[in-house]
Every structure is written in C-alpha cells, then in structure tokens.
Amino acid sequence: MPNKRNILITGGAGFIGSHVVRLFVTKYPEYRIVNLDKLTYAGNLANLKDVEQAENYTFVKADICDFERMLEVFRDYRIDGVIHLAAESHVDRSIKDPFTFARTNVMGTLSLLQAAKMSWEGAYEGKRFYHISTDEVYGALDFDGTFFTETTKYDPHSPYSASKASSDHFVRAFHDTFGLPVVVTNCSNNYGPYQFPEKLIPLFINNIRHNKPLPVYGKGENVRDWLYVVDHARAIDVIFHQGKVADTYNIGGFNEWKNIDLIKVLIRTVDRLLGRPEGASEHLITYVTDRAGHDLRYAIDSTKLKKELGWEPSLQFEEGIEKTVKWYLDNQTWLDNVTSGDYQSYYEKMYGSR
C-alpha cells in the first residue's frame, strides 16, 4: 500500500530536526519520512536511536548543495512535501567562516527549491515546501516592548542571519515566479534535549557540571526569547498541515530573558540537581568581550499563529529548563560523545566521510 505522504526532512539528525523527525515518524505511521542529513559536526544519528528501526523511516546521507543528488532523492522517494531545516546556524562560526554559511544556507536552499520545482513539474496540488528560518533575519529590537511580527522589515546583522535572510527571499521568489507552494516560519531561540553543546544552554550545563568557566558576552544584558524545542516541533507539524501557502508565521515562546538572568537560573538548577548549594557555581561566570554584530534583543510575536492555527507553547520556561537540565545530566554519555567528537568517526565508518 503506498504511503499517504512522502516527506523529506532536511537536517533531520540535528537538534531541531531530530525532534521533528521523531514527531512525524511516531505520529504519522502512514507517511514515509526521509531524513536527509550531511552529518556535519552538528548532525548526530544517535539523536534518533528510538525511531531508526521504524518501518516508515529512511535515512539518506547527502549534501543539500548537491543538486543532482537532490533530484535523485525527490524522484526515488516520490517526495511531495519538504520540511527544510538543514542549515549552518552558529553566529560565531559565521563570523569566522561566512563562505560556508552562504554555501549551505543560500545555495543549498536554492538546490532544494530547484529540485522541487523540476520534480513536481507544476503539479503542485498536495505539495508543500516548508522553509524554517530564524528571528535573527529581523535584526535587533530596543527595550521598548516591541516585537518582531510577520511584517517586520528584514535587517540582518551577522553573516548567519544574512544567509538565512537570503534563503528566505529565494523561497518566496520561487512561489512568486513559479507558483511553488511554500511556507516560511521564523522562530526564536530553541532549547531542550539533543542540542549541540556549542550553544549557550547545553554548553553552560556541561561547564557547570565540570566546574569550568561560563563565558558571558559583554555584561550579559542581551535579551532572547526562548522556546522549548518540542513545542517548536509541534508548531512545525501544525503549519506543515494547515498553514496557508505563501504565508509566513512567527514562532516564539513569549518568554524573554536577559542572558545573565537565564545563566543564573541554569546555575541554580544544575547546582540543586547535583546536590550542591544553589548558586554555588556563580563564581564560574566570566565576562568576555562582546562579539561583533551582537544584537541587543530579539522578541517574537506569535499571535498570528495562535489565532489562525491554534498553536501556543505548552511549557513554562522554568518547567522546560528543569526538564532540559535533567536530560543533559542523565545523558552524560551522549554529551561526552558529542563533546569529544567520537560520534563523528562512528558514523563516518557507517556512511563514509563525504
């Protein structure tokens, strides 16, 4: 019996992608879920151990920039839906190596768009190309109570956000020029299990555990809106199935925190769960020179998504942080393997280094 849908999820071995893959594989057994990932440093198939044997799950190791390979994947698996998460996403890395970000985020997205256009050949009924972007394309906000909305003007300030902004424009241009059925979402900072420990929350949990310094940019006054990753996956599910073609939806947690305040919550939580006096690790905070192009404040207004499609976050931040810290402390082997890079050599043996 043919699958009801054949959905390609790019970057499905990464942090957010693995949560989306898991949700779709378990919730929609009638779908064929094709997880395509290059398995760079941030891609780890150990994130999907619990679903890798599912009958409706397939993994493909490939680079989204390889256009001919993308055409093969679309045709071999009869792809009728795309959830595009594959991206370089770390701002600090983009400052050191902007070319990689332009290649993956811009040319990789263009490769997928062209493959979808050529494979679907104008037969767009029932098809969908869903592109996941970031709130960083909007630039920065002042401390004036305003929020990013779906109509906020783009104003990227880092090579990372510039590359994502460019990819967003290509996605919308393929709708306007070719009629490709697209949808775009811009999301705030995610946190939760399986996040690569170069990002603030898993990095600091690990450093607190090992009594290592906690490097804080500037005075720690930059503000971010935080969303539990499982809630983001839920939003992606709703938007993929119910979102309007050619529309944009902002996904946020209505959950703003100054970096320094967030870090102190992390410290208290990790200390308590490790049996230390709460706040004992605050001496690990080390203030470092702020990075170039560091935006002051991000804040997403998700009102449209709530009103039109009924989605809203399910967890309060304190509950989400508690679950997140417990997960990293309970999964130290996963964290150690990622930190050491051992997982990469394991999967290179299985799938090759290319």
Q: What residues act catalytically?
A: 135-136, 160
Contact 242, 307 (CB under 8 A): no
Residue with tokens 């009102």: 303
Q: Is 334 helix (H, G, I), strand (E, B) or coil?
A: helix
Q: What is the DSSP secondary structure assignment for residue 277, as one 8-state letter? A: P
The gap between the terminal CA atoms of the chain, to the nearest Å, is 34
Q: Is 8 helix (H, G, I), strand (E, B) or coil?
A: strand
Contact 223, 256 (CB under 8 A): yes
**Could you tell me whether strands 248-251 and 128-134 are parallel, antiparallel, or unpaired per DSSP bridges?**
unpaired
Contact 157, 138 (CB under 8 A): no
Q: What is the DSSP secondary structure assignment for residue 127, as one 8-state letter? A: -
H helix or E strand, kind and range, residue 183: strand 182-187
Query: Which one-letter amino acid corresponds to residue 126?
Result: G
